[in-house]
Structure 1
Amino acid sequence: MPFAIEADLILHNGRIWCGREEGISNAVAVWQGKVLATGSNADILSLKGSATEVIDLEGRFASPGLIDNHLHLIATGIAMGFVDATPAAAPTLAALMKGISERAATTPKGGWVRARGYDQVKLDTGRHPTREDLDRAAPDHPVMLTRACGHVSVANSRALALAGISEQTPVPDGGVIGLTDGKLNGFLAENAQNLVKAVMPEATTEELIEGIERAGQHLLSFGITSCMDAAVGHVAGFPEIQAYEMAKVAGRLPVRVWLTLLGDPGVSIVEESWRAGLVCGAGDDMLRVGGVKIFLDGSAGGRTAWMTRPYQGEPDNIGVQMLSDAVVEQVVKDCHDRGYQMVCHAIGDGAIEQLITAYEKALAANPDSDRRHRIEHCGFPTAEQNARMKTAGILPAPQMAFIHDFGDSYISVLGEERGVASYPIGTWMRMGLKPSTGSDSPVCSPDPFPNLHAMITRQTGKGTVMDAAEKLGRAEALQAYTEYGAWSQKAEAVKGRLVPGQWADIAVFDNDLLEAPAATVLSGTRCLLTLLAGRIVYDAR
């Protein structure tokens, strides 16, 4: 008599989307953390044993756990303790300054006040806050207010003084120090921000672990079970690796993480990681070393993404080129030759051109037909660049939440024609480039519903349609958030679909993401249940 496996867990009586090709099942059985079978209620319930846990989904919609293709997990957890400067929390300059003032009132004099999330286009003033604004709000504290994108900050006089920044300070390569009428206005972009960050207190190991845990639990509340930490080393250098390992050993790593190693010259942790044996693929399905990241430009909304044509109203501004061609090509080649997948930040078409060229040269010198080098964000590619990506096997890794949060800003700074054409995910899907999606949190909230809404409608938060030809179908959007997220990490064999043998990472929602009205997907959807390896790790039922 053959041995019959009894499921550890069965979810039944639902609409379970197993993947774009697999479609809908009514039930799924889990055994030893992985999917045992999917099918009809009757077939799957036949696998029930005396110890099987059974969950009635009561008709609700379930999918593979979502995969955020690019966020900053530690930074997200730490930023959750900052003053909330997002447009929702602080729609006016007065409200923003009030929040900073209130935080200063509860912070010992001389202690740092951090805030993040503003977008000058959405403020009532239509401009960046200034050093003077911050001085009035918190005269006795150093303050650093960071734009949503993370590529621009504003510092007050105390922060600038602590950093030793004056009107005579040399501007760092790849940076901007703002002046108005020859005087510091507090504006710092790209590498210039590091001057202030260098005099802030360093995060302790416990603070790093707390950030991992806090942000990971937050992701689980949205049905996100996997993510890529997009610049490990950016907050505290190589000790972030230790923090991740300690969090995992202590049971404080809530989600699966693919670690991207910061590779920028001067702050790179690649050499230390290489010496420690942290090569691409090292680890397990809970915590694995992924690719290497360098920054090639800034953000479009902050007017620092490197474009080949000037920004609207600024004929001399094409953004910021962070590194020379020679440096980019050398870093890419060195890491490629060591076996690393590259996952580099490039938003403007100038930066995308520089990066594709570097990838092509590295692949020509040392061919690998399945390396899957990625272009993080990839906001404003040309048709010719898309074709070269296809030929070279390069993956676009956009964050479609940007359309919802920043689409109107793109039109404002680039004009209608270039703005609406940004992040052409429909084109990429039709070309077979397997685009994934994410949030870049804390740049945007990791909340997946604005992201999904933007993919299926191409609407901004204000309702502007950003080129309807780039819309995705519902199943395509979910595929980007699951299967293609796994593909971008070379993990498609173990997660991203609900098929036998893959991890039983499952999210249950109170709306049918394939059928519910688009407006309801955006504003009326909640995650009710999240499972990681068949264990309930979030329950809002």
Structure 2
Amino acid sequence: MIQADAVLLNGRIFCGLAEGFVEALAVKDGTVLAAGSTEEISSLRGAGTRVIDLAGRVAIPGLNDAHMHLLPLGVSMNEINLRPEEGVRSIDEVLRRVATVAKTKKPGEWVLGRGYDHNELAEGRHPTADELDQVAPDNPVYIKRTCGHVGVVNSQAMRKAGIGHNTPSPDGGLIERRDNKLTGLLAESAMRLIVEAMPKPSHAELTTAIEQAGHYMLSQGFTSVMDASVGMLAGMAEIDAYEEMARTNRLPVRTWVCIYGNADGIGDAAHAAGYRFGREVGLLRYGAMKVFGDGSAGGLTAAMSQPYRVGDPDNRGIFIYSDKDMHGYLAHYHRLGYQLAIHAIGDAAIEQVLSGIEQADSAEHPVLGRRHRIEHCGFLTDSQLARMAAAGIDPVPQPVFIYEFGDLYVHNLGQERADASYPMRKWFDAGVHPAASSDAPVCATDPFKNLFTMVTRQTKRHTVIGAAERLTMEEAVHAYTAIGAYTQFAEDRMGRLVPGQLADIAVLSHDIFASPVETVEMDARCDLTLLGGEVVYDRLGQFAAAAQ
């Protein structure tokens, strides 16, 4: 008789949206052996079987963050944390934190920070170059808004990047001036001027960032992620770091690589070096190519067909590329065999990307079946959704944007347009595959905030944004597990807890399917994470390893 390596007992196990719940689960050789009643699974126990006592808790398939930035998340863990929930509610606090770090640096060393939200600051504006100069006169300073599409630098940083009073804003970007004076604010492609001037992380720093961020994701119940722009920080050196981690079995989580393919990216170099769709090394798999279409709705740079309600009355956001250039990139990478994973948030950007994918369709290189993705896909029209469904193009949204930025959407766009954003219910009903994700480090990776928002459509201030788009908790978990696997061509191996699939499992502190939604938002945690049947995270240190 086959004996299980491990069994999960004494709780509820969510196997998948179609499969529902079972009482117990058996694991063998890294995969699910059987799922069923306690009696059925107990019959598979042997002398060497490890028992995981759920003690009334719930287990779900390992979570899949289908769009985040794993390596940049690790890098950001060593930068100044300027997020509002960390107490950064004023420009004075931003400057205090920058000054504190600047005092530890030698003259000329960079001071980096991320996560401030000018809309959450008491002053309701961005810091300025002059203010950063006052607290760090001897160091280049670069701090990024939470969205990652807008940042502020000081005078030293602008000098390092060659930005002067007469430097024009690049195509697809903004170097802000007020009263004919540089403010230090940069948006979209203009930020690349700073990135190119900064020293690149070393190989050791890159591998450490991957490892640190990967273990952090495991601690929250994630067993799979997509790194959505590999090559954006350090070029091909990022590929080298990932390859080493995978070869030496140090990569903590299953990672779907999305290569940064913008004009300044590594798309063609990666393809020439053999990093193509279908390559697999250990937990590392390659498949997607990233191109940016626009910016962010919170930063007023997402490309919209109608203007924003605040600021410049003619502002409709920023296109990173012309239609000709964008369509050329899409056709090129489509022909090279990559899955397209294109950043487009505003409806005008979505139109540019969608029409480009449709134009790339051909008998020799059909679009249908390629599972191309529109990343974020925040503010689309019903006709655009119908075209996506017909072409098999899937949205990869961040419902947590509603949680963190929903009140800002109402402010920037009005209630009606905000209500229509990230329409999870509409996507489900249309038959496309909306894979939930965080876009970390843009947003926190906390999965319970994301699940809470999918079920309630509430912001962190509990404003309801588009109540008609609510999902059930089962559907929300499905979007965070099985659908993520589908968008990574992995639905045959992960995303559900059924026989033959990988035993990637998260054991949660609360039964999120039965608990009040407020408990899910505030109190739920991951207690235990299994990757391929092996315990890789144990929050309580109480894992029952002994067979009984």
TM-score by length of 1: 0.98
Structure 1 position 300, deviation (Å): 0.6
Where does residue 101 of structure 2 map in the other structure? 103
Report the equivalent of 1:357: 355
Given the alignment of the two structures, is residue 71 of structure 1 paired with residue 68 of structure 2, yes or no? yes
80-89 vs 101-110, which moves further: 101-110
Aligned positions of 1:220-369 closer than 5 A: 220-265=218-263, 267-284=264-281, 286-313=283-310, 314-364=312-362, 366-369=365-368
Partner of 2:59: 62
2:492 — aligned with what? 493
Find the aligned partners of 1:468 and 1:148 in 2 and give their Cα distance. 26
Aligned to 2:205: 207
Correspondence list, 1:381-460, <5 A: 381-460=380-459
Quote the Cα distance in structure 1 between the aligned partners of 2:479 and 2:249: 29
State which drifts further: 360-369 or 347-356.
360-369
- Could you tell me how far 1:51 is from its partner in structure 2? 1.3
**C-alpha distance in structure 1 between counterparts of 2:38 and 2:212, whole Å:** 36
Q: Read off the aligned partner of 1:398 and give its amino acid letter.
A: P
Q: Secondary structure at the match of 2:289?
A: strand
Aligned to 1:380: 379
Structure 1 stretch 256-265 or stretch 325-334: which is displaced more? 325-334
1:14 is matched by which residue type in structure 2? G
Cα distance in 2 between the residues matched to 1:435 and 1:530: 24
Q: RMSD of aligned C-alpha atoms? A: 1.1
Shift of 1:358: 0.9
CA distance in 2, matches of 1:35, 1:497: 9
For residues 158 and 420 of structure 1, what CA distance do their matches in structure 2 show? Answer: 42
Once residues 176 and 272 of structure 2 are traced to their aligned partners in structure 1, the CA distance between those partners, rounded to angstroms, is: 39
User: Which residue, 8, 20, 23 being the options, matches 1:23?
Assistant: 20
Shift of 1:479: 0.4
Cα distance between partner residues in 2 of 1:209 and 1:11 = 34
Distance 1:206 1:81 in 2: 14
Structure 1: 5+ residue stretches without partners: none
Mapped pair 1:536 → 2:535: yes
Q: Distance in 2 between matches of 1:168 and 1:369?
A: 47
2:277, 2:262 → 1: CA distance? 17
Q: Which amino acid aligns with 2:381?
A: T
Find 2:4's aligned residue among 2, 7, 12: 7
**Which residue is equivalent to 2:82?**
85
Equivalent residue for 1:123?
Answer: 121
What is the TM-score when the length of structure 2 is the normalising length? 0.96
**1:165 corresponds to:** 163
1:117-196 equivalences in 2 (<5 Å): 117-196=115-194
2:31 to 13, 28, 34: 34
Deviations 1:127-179 (A, max 9, x none): 11111221122222111010001000000111111212111012111110011
The letter of the residue matching 2:309 is Q
Q: After the TM superposition, which of the residue ranges 95-104 and 279-288 deviates more from structure 2?
A: 279-288
8 Å CA contact 1:209, 1:252 repeated in 2: no
Cα distance in 2 between the residues matched to 1:166 and 1:338? 39
Deviation at 1:276, TM superposition (A): 2.2
Tell me the SS of whatever aligns to 1:226: strand
5+ residue gaps, structure 2, are: 541-548
- Between the aligned partners of 1:447 and 1:82, the Cα distance in structure 2 is 19
Deviations 1:34-76 (A, max 9, x none): 0000111111111111211111111101100000010011100
**Which residues of 2 match residues 462-481 of structure 1 at below 5 A?**
462-481=461-480
Distance 1:353 1:145 in 2: 31
Instruction: Give, in whole Å, the separation in 2 of the partners of 1:31 and 1:14.
Output: 19
Q: Which whole-Å CA distance do the structure 1 matches of 2:145 and 2:117 have between them? A: 6
Residue 544 of structure 2 corresponds to none
Identity %: 49
For residues 283 and 5 of structure 2, the distance between their equivalents in structure 1, rounded to whole angstroms, comes to: 21
Q: Distance in 1 between matches of 2:313 and 2:52?
A: 61
SS in 2 for 1:198: helix
Q: Which residue identity lines up with residue 42 of structure 1 in the other structure?
A: E
Q: How many residues align?
A: 537
Q: Which moved more, 1:274-283 or 1:433-442?
A: 274-283
Does the CA-based 8 Å contact 2:247-2:281 persist in structure 1? no
The residue number in structure 2 matching 1:505 is 504
Deviation of 1:331 (Å): 1.4
Q: Which amino acid in 2 is paired with 1:79? A: S
How many angstroms apart in 2 are the aligned matches of 1:241 and 1:163?
Answer: 25
